[in-house]
Amino acid sequence: MTDTATALLTIEDLNVWRGEAHILHGVSFDVPRGQVTALLGRNGVGKTTTLLALMGLLPGSGSASMSGQELVNGETHLNSRLGIGYVPEDREVFSTLTVSENLRLAERPGAEHRYGLVYELFPDLAIRPDQEAGTLSGGQQQMLALARALLNPNELLLVDEPTKGLAPIIIEGVVEALVKATSETTVLLVEQNLTVAGDLATAAVVLDQGSVVYTGGMQALAGDRALTGRYLGVEVR
């Protein structure tokens, strides 16, 4: 159905349990190279679980292969070194470390460290290198989490709800930075905010109760009121 020749990441029959709960029921989809793919769905349908399984942070069965490398049940640090930048749902910046220490920690040995790029995208970070990350605002923490993932030239970015809990004015800045940052990189973006997803993504995958219910274009999805109403519970203006 989908053209696997241009897919950077191919997920097939991914099943994940968290304790007793069967969260993902045979999820399969492709993430096309060089594009932003939005992973959508209501709360608790398994979007974050998908990213955690791709990072090797949750065990699962099935397959997720990036350029021929298997990610499911991989060791997290090895998955990361394949060229995956991960921006977790709650930012998870190291709050007791300074901004510059957070970035230094993210430096992958042997890779180019693009401080010029991240400071250009997030000038807020450049002016407070010695501030403890725990004392940053929510928006600044999100910038730091993104900067950590953008510091190394990654093949794939897994970005989990970058606008969650941020004020609208801050969201604009984050989206603007994301647009610039993701213009060349392949991204799998989890996002509750359909407007933001529409601004960033070209492809979309919708999950419902741990299964894929839609794959296709982001525009087509946003235009389908019945679909967005049923699976996302939102009206698109």
Partner 1 sequence: MSSLILNASTALGLAGLYFLLASGLSLIFGLMNVLNLAHGAFFAIGGYAAWWVMDTLEIVSSLGLRFVIAVAVAALAGLVVGALVERGLVAKLYGKHLEQILLTIGLSYVFVALLGGWFTYDPRLMTQPAWFGTTTEIFGANIPNNRLLVLAVAVVALVGLLVFLNRTRHGLIIRAGVENAPMVRALGIDVGRSFTIVFALGGLLAGVGGGLAAVYFNGVSPSLGTAQLIFAFIVVVIGGLGSVPGTAVAAVLVAFTQVFANNYLATGLGSISVVVLLALVLLVRPQGLLGRAGT
Task: Order across the sheet with 69-70: list the strands.
Answer: 21-32, 7-18, 60-66, 69-70
Q: Which is nearer to partner 1, 79 or 140 (CB)?
A: 79
For 22, the 3-state DSSP assignment is strand
Q: Which is nearer to partner 1, 144 or 203 (CB)?
A: 144
Q: Which of 27, 38, 71 is nearest to 163 (CA)?
A: 38
Q: Which is nearer to partner 1, 18 or 230 (CB)?
A: 18
CB of 64 to partner 1, least distance (A): 15
Q: Where on the chain is the footprint of partner 1 (CB under 8 A)?
A: 55-57, 75-77, 80-81, 86, 88, 92, 94-97, 101, 104-106, 108, 148, 152
Q: Which is nearer to partner 1, 96 or 183 (CB)?
A: 96
CB of 101 to partner 1, least distance (A): 6
CB of 231 to partner 1, least distance (A): 29
CB of 154 to partner 1, least distance (A): 10
Q: 3-state SS of 142-208?
A: HHHHHHHHHCCCCCEEEEECCCCCCCHHHHHHHHHHHHHHCCCCEEEEECCCHHHHHHHCCEEEEEE
